[in-house]
Chain A
Amino acid sequence: MDLLQLTAVELSGKIKAGELTVVEAAEAVLEQIKKKDGIYRCYITVDEATVMKKAGEIQKKIDAGELTGPLAGTPVAVKDNMCTKGMLTTCASKMLGNFVPVYTAEAVLRLEEAGALVIGKTNMDEFAMGSTTETSAYGETKNPWDIRKVPGGSSGGSAAAVAARECFAALGSDTGGSIRQPASFCGVVGIKPTYGTVSRYGLIAYGSSLDQIGPIGKDVTDCAALLEAVASYDKKDSTSLKRQDTDFTSALVDDVKGMKIGIPREYFGDGIEAEVKEAVLNAAQVLEGKGAILEEFDLSLVEYAIPAYYTIAAAEASSNLERFDGIKYGYRTEDYEGLHQMYKKSRSEGFGAEVKRRIMLGSFVLSSGYYDAYYLKALKVKALIKKAFDDAFAKYDVILGPTAPTTAPVLGKSLAEPLKMYLGDIYTVSVNLAGLPGISLPCGKDSGGMPIGLHLIGDCFKEKNILRVAYAYERARGPFGEPEL
């Protein structure tokens, strides 16, 4: 069996057992990147020399018994919006084309402490704004299942890298579905944890009240192990939560007997592809077969999630991205007269169209005379959406639905009609608004062979519920298979 086909946890097991070395694993991954990344463009930066040096160091620690965790020795990738000391961090933007952070994001530090080996930084939609990874200033990532298709976004590079076996697992970030949707499109597993579970320190902010870092992996076990490694209380992040229940791998139990699963009728209405609907409902049947109790119900306010989300995310983004002004770091225009022109030209040249679109929208909804009607209204609707989920979780352990209404679209079709692209986030954004955990895992393929994602949503702090259901489903489903690269 090809080493690259192992899961992260399997690989680490073999390394710890002395059957493989970290250097061999790293070499295999680098070789795969050399062979395949010209096609898929999952990475923006790969630092070979450092990787090989670190591989040796990690091996020594494993040999010395200092690293014993489930991820020790595993080559992983990190989305390029997480700061890595000494390693280029671009957010896939021309604006940060030369930005080398002087500190490392807390989540990445945690991953390294667990013995994982960071291979490089993955491609994404610029500043995480987009659903296709086409807004990257460094070229679009292609879907390993079909290179004519997008990998999803914004963590498209991370999801595609896992699918293309260019790493064993990856970190992504999810503001409105940016982990779960690309995981769905690329046939891999992705988790967006409860808001505050993973420190945001070092994550270059898009929508601060919605952003969460989470894992993307080949299976549920890898994701649980990764999440367990990166979840932590961090006193550098005021919104970080002190949780005692982050032993997520303990939830990997193949038993859903008696678990109550709610299926919102609103998730299967207009706009969903028939094949997606069928695959997701089949998955629900599988769970019912394993003893879960299914119930259809009405989840209110589904159609208000996207307008509320885009208002809040754009507003926060417009403020978060003000710091990119050509003074302290990043891109500064060549020719300018005076301060304000320097600002305007640097920002107009440094940011891409989608980023500018959202900054403009965000500045508008916060501006004098519009704040109440748009931004404040959206915060109120957010409260209502949260309440709707609270009501649902009073009855159900898990909410089940599709991750996205369609499988991966063809490259180059989405950006021309942004509003239509935004509508594809219908199932994922409300989870971010309400701070909930969600997981996407493959549950079938459409007639074109493209993966379909099953979306499981849990109540706040109930990652273990969705992990348990996902794990049980995965066991029943059997191997999903890999794309032919």
Chain B
Amino acid sequence: MINMEKQYETVIGLEVHVELATKTKIFCGCSTAFGGAPNTHTCPVCTGMPGTLPILNKQVLEYAVAVGLAANCEITRYCKFDRKNYFYPDNPQNYQISQLYLPICRNGYVEIETEGGKKKVGIHEIHMEEDAGKLIHDEWGGCSLVDYNRSGVPLIEIVSEPDMRSAEEVIAYLEKLRMMIQYLGASDCKLQEGSMRADVNLSVREMGTEEFGTRTEMKNLNSFRAIARAIEGERERQIELLEAGDAIIQETRRWDDAKGESYAMRSKEDAQDYRYFPDPDLPPVVVEEGWLEEMQARQPEFREGKMERYKEEYDIPEYDIEIITASKCMADLFEETVKLCGQPKKVSNWLMVETLRLLKEKGMDAEDICFSPANLAKLIRLADEKVINSTVAKEVFEAMFDSDMDPEKYVEEKGLKTVSDEGALKKAIEEVIANNPKSVEDYRGGKEKAIGFLVGQTMKAMKGKADPGKVNEMLKGML
């Protein structure tokens, strides 16, 4: 048990790896697409063949600078790549091209919301580097297998200052980073798929002390839940050690989320001496003023800006604005659809009600939405012009959510249009009146509510393809 007499403070810094959304790898023309058969996205460069040389993908640099600018960093005007030397089979050259001495961005911060209000989390640096390949354990063969498809996929590593004090702050920070990077289009930042990965550096100290305690680094955290659990677990482990009078060892630990515990990743064969030195194969990158200005001008509107603008431009509730702008995809969808149909309120309704419902049901993120603004605009028009009624509209929307088909064609093909032929409607109503004398009696006897049942029966007879308002009106007249 933890001795509650002493109060401990948790000090957390994060190293966040983000896979950039480039089409090709950082140093060769291989595709970064997910899901290829093993080693089908590889070439002599990214498998470390003798004699090969790296060439920097310009887009990697531009994304890194964009993230740095968004995180209020200083952009390093003269930056270089260094080799980080260590042997591991997922690393085909046995060195990783990274940046140690002159990383592209330094000294920034992001602002997060905490219980105690706004807080700045310092960004120590952001550097560019290459991802490693994937190791697959072969149970039958008693060996491991290497797939270099991910080898050379561009990453940025965002290194924070040790400014966070709780799991909540860590998650707020990660969410902030994720949103910012998604707004930039620099990455989709999916923790589960590994396009965003966080290593947690954590130490504890007695409340009120200035000095940092010995920290450990935790890896293999692939969900917010795992991060929160790992932070709690490591905090307790360290406090227990301190309480028992034991020293904390500075080391890298691997979090096992299933077991809820971490273990040291130590080996006498890992000297942790990476022998960094400037890569002689890559000339420096010089970010000149004009280029930086260009990149700055290309920065998109971020969430805060959007929220302000929405308040002025669109007459929709503040709550809607918050939800819609929480995802760049959702915000884009909203704006583009409004541009097409000019009805912010209705667009917002479709997003807030039906879209959120379906996302939740299907366990999807806003980034997974597949229907286009054009099709949503068409659907809104179909409903507006009463070509379809609201029940049919929901049905069409569900189909559109799944496959992004054209709602006009769909309505046409499935024969879902509201019947506007008054003769057919009149005939149906006459039949309903004839078959439901009890309800007719009730209505005539002053029970206004009975009309609802009759409308329902008529709609049923019309197979849903009538305008309920019109049915109501005609029924009243005919009764």
List residues of chain A with CB within 8 A of the CB of B95. 319, 322
Chain B, Cβ-Cβ closest to A326: B89
Q: Is the Cβ of A366 less than 8 Å from the Cβ of B50? A: no
Q: Residue B59 at the A interface, CB < 8 A? A: no
Q: Residue B52 at the A interface, CB < 8 A? A: yes
Chain B, Cβ-Cβ closest to A347: B87
- Min CB distance A364 to B, Å, is 9
Query: What total count of A-B pairs have CB within 8 Å?
Result: 99
List residues of chain A with CB within 8 A of the CB of B47. 328
Contact of B280 among A82, A209, A235, A371 (CB under 8 A): A209
Instruction: Please measure, in the bound complex, the distance between the C-alpha atom of A102 and the C-alpha atom of B93, giving whole angstroms.
Output: 17
Q: Spell out B's residues near A (CB within 8 Å).
A: 44, 47-56, 83, 85, 87, 89, 92-95, 146, 267, 269, 273, 275-277, 280-283
Q: Is the Cβ of A368 less than 8 Å from the Cβ of B281? A: no
Instruction: Please measure, in the bound complex, the distance between the C-alpha atom of A17 and the C-alpha atom of B199, giving whole angstroms.
Output: 71
- Min CB distance B101 to A, Å, is 10
Task: Kindly list the 4 A-B residue pairs having the minimum CB-CB distance in the complex, ordered from nearest.
Answer: A322-B94, A366-B275, A209-B280, A208-B280
Chain A, Cβ-Cβ closest to B89: A327
- Contacts A239-B281, A325-B89 known; 10 new A-B pairs at CB < 8 A: A83-B49, A89-B50, A102-B49, A202-B51, A208-B280, A238-B53, A239-B53, A323-B92, A327-B92, A328-B92
Instruction: Please measure, in the bound complex, the distance between the C-alpha atom of A204 and the C-alpha atom of B89, giving whole angstroms.
Output: 20
Instruction: Please measure, in the bound complex, the distance between the C-alpha atom of A91 and the C-alpha atom of B53, giving whole angstroms.
Output: 18
A-B contact list, 28 entries, CB within 8 Å: A83-B49, A83-B51, A101-B51, A103-B49, A200-B51, A201-B51, A202-B51, A203-B51, A204-B51, A205-B50, A235-B55, A236-B55, A238-B53, A238-B55, A322-B85, A322-B95, A323-B50, A323-B93, A324-B50, A329-B49, A340-B87, A340-B267, A366-B85, A366-B276, A366-B277, A368-B273, A368-B275, A375-B277
- Min CB distance A236 to B, Å, is 6
- Min CB distance A457 to B, Å, is 22
A238 and B93 in contact, given A209-B280, A371-B277 (Cβ under 8 angstroms): no
Contact with B along A22-62 (1 / 0, CB 8 A): 00000000000000000000000000000000000000000
Instruction: Please measure, in the bound complex, the distance between the C-alpha atom of A239 and the C-alpha atom of B44, giving whole angstroms.
Output: 18
Contact of B50 among A99, A207, A208, A368 (CB under 8 A): A99
Q: Residue A343 at the B interface, CB < 8 A? A: yes
Q: Is the Cβ of A236 less than 8 Å from the Cβ of B49? A: no
Instruction: Please measure, in the bound complex, the distance between the C-alpha atom of A96 and the C-alpha atom of B55, giving whole angstroms.
Output: 25
Chain A, Cβ-Cβ closest to B54: A238
Q: Is the Cβ of A319 less than 8 Å from the Cβ of B49? A: no
List residues of chain A with CB within 8 A of the CB of B283. 238-239
- Per the 8 Å Cβ criterion, residues 349-408 of A in contact with B are 363, 366-368, 371, 375
List residues of chain A with CB within 8 A of the CB of B277. 315-316, 319, 366, 371, 375
Instruction: Please measure, in the bound complex, the distance between the C-alpha atom of A201 and the C-alpha atom of B281, giving whole angstroms.
Output: 10
Instruction: Please measure, in the bound complex, the distance between the C-alpha atom of A103 and the C-alpha atom of B282, giving whole angstroms.
Output: 21
Contact with B along A76-106 (1 / 0, CB 8 A): 0000001100000101000010010111010
Q: Is the Cβ of B146 less than 8 Å from the Cβ of A327? A: yes
Chain A, Cβ-Cβ closest to B87: A343
Q: Spell out A's residues near B (CB within 8 Å).
A: 82-83, 89, 91, 96, 99, 101-103, 105, 200-205, 207-209, 235-239, 315-316, 318-319, 322-325, 327-329, 339-340, 343, 363, 366-368, 371, 375
Q: Choose among A319, A324, A339, A371 the residue with the greatest number of B CB atoms under 10 Å from its CB.
A: A319
- Min CB distance A332 to B, Å, is 12
A367 and B275 in contact, given A102-B44, A327-B89, A339-B89 (Cβ under 8 angstroms): yes
A367 and B56 in contact, given A328-B48, A329-B49 (Cβ under 8 angstroms): no
List residues of chain B with CB within 8 A of the CB of A238. 53-56, 281-283
- Min CB distance B161 to A, Å, is 23
Chain A, Cβ-Cβ closest to B45: A236
- Min CB distance A312 to B, Å, is 9
List residues of chain A with CB within 8 A of the CB of B51. 82-83, 101, 105, 200-205
Instruction: Please measure, in the bound complex, the distance between the C-alpha atom of A256 and the C-alpha atom of B44, giving whole angstroms.
Output: 46
List residues of chain B with CB within 8 A of the CB of A340. 87, 267, 269
Instruction: Please measure, in the bound complex, the distance between the C-alpha atom of A340 and the C-alpha atom of B89, giving whole angstroms.
Output: 10
Chain A, Cβ-Cβ closest to B84: A319
List residues of chain A with CB within 8 A of the CB of B50. 83, 89, 91, 96, 99, 101, 204-205, 323-324, 329
- Min CB distance B469 to A, Å, is 68
List residues of chain B with CB within 8 A of the CB of A101. 49-51
- Min CB distance A26 to B, Å, is 26
List residues of chain B with CB within 8 A of the CB of A102. 44, 49
List residues of chain A with CB within 8 A of the CB of B273. 367-368
List residues of chain B with CB within 8 A of the CB of A375. 277
- Min CB distance B151 to A, Å, is 11
- Min CB distance B191 to A, Å, is 28
Instruction: Please measure, in the bound complex, the distance between the C-alpha atom of A203 and the C-alpha atom of B267, giving whole angstroms.
Output: 35
- Min CB distance B13 to A, Å, is 21
Instruction: Please measure, in the bound complex, the distance between the C-alpha atom of A324 and the C-alpha atom of B280, giving whole angstroms.
Output: 19
Instruction: Please measure, in the bound complex, the distance between the C-alpha atom of A323 and the C-alpha atom of B85, giving whole angstroms.
Output: 10
Instruction: Please measure, in the bound complex, the distance between the C-alpha atom of A89 and the C-alpha atom of B53, giving whole angstroms.
Output: 17
- Min CB distance B479 to A, Å, is 83
Chain A, Cβ-Cβ closest to B50: A204
Instruction: Please measure, in the bound complex, the distance between the C-alpha atom of A82 and the C-alpha atom of B55, giving whole angstroms.
Output: 20
List residues of chain A with CB within 8 A of the CB of B56. 238
Chain A, Cβ-Cβ closest to B269: A340
Q: Is the Cβ of A319 less than 8 Å from the Cβ of B275? A: yes
Chain B, Cβ-Cβ closest to A343: B87
- Min CB distance B277 to A, Å, is 6
A371 and B275 in contact, given A323-B50, A323-B92, A328-B47 (Cβ under 8 angstroms): yes
Q: Choose among B56, B93, B277 the residue with the greatest number of A CB atoms under 10 Å from its CB.
A: B277
List residues of chain B with CB within 8 A of the CB of A203. 51
List residues of chain B with CB within 8 A of the CB of A328. 47-49, 92
Instruction: Please measure, in the bound complex, the distance between the C-alpha atom of A237 and the C-alpha atom of B277, giving whole angstroms.
Output: 19
Q: Is the Cβ of B281 less than 8 Å from the Cβ of A323? A: no
Q: Is the Cβ of A319 less than 8 Å from the Cβ of B83? A: yes
Chain A, Cβ-Cβ closest to B275: A366
Q: Choose among B92, B280, B281 the residue with the greatest number of A CB atoms under 10 Å from its CB.
A: B280
List residues of chain B with CB within 8 A of the CB of A99. 50
Instruction: Please measure, in the bound complex, the distance between the C-alpha atom of A327 and the C-alpha atom of B283, giving whole angstroms.
Output: 29
- Min CB distance A448 to B, Å, is 38
Chain A, Cβ-Cβ closest to B92: A328
List residues of chain A with CB within 8 A of the CB of B93. 322-323
List residues of chain A with CB within 8 A of the CB of B280. 207-209, 239, 316
Instruction: Please measure, in the bound complex, the distance between the C-alpha atom of A329 and the C-alpha atom of B92, giving whole angstroms.
Output: 11
List residues of chain B with CB within 8 A of the CB of A315. 277
Instruction: Please measure, in the bound complex, the distance between the C-alpha atom of A343 and the C-alpha atom of B93, giving whole angstroms.
Output: 13
A236 and B53 in contact, given A316-B280, A323-B92 (Cβ under 8 angstroms): yes
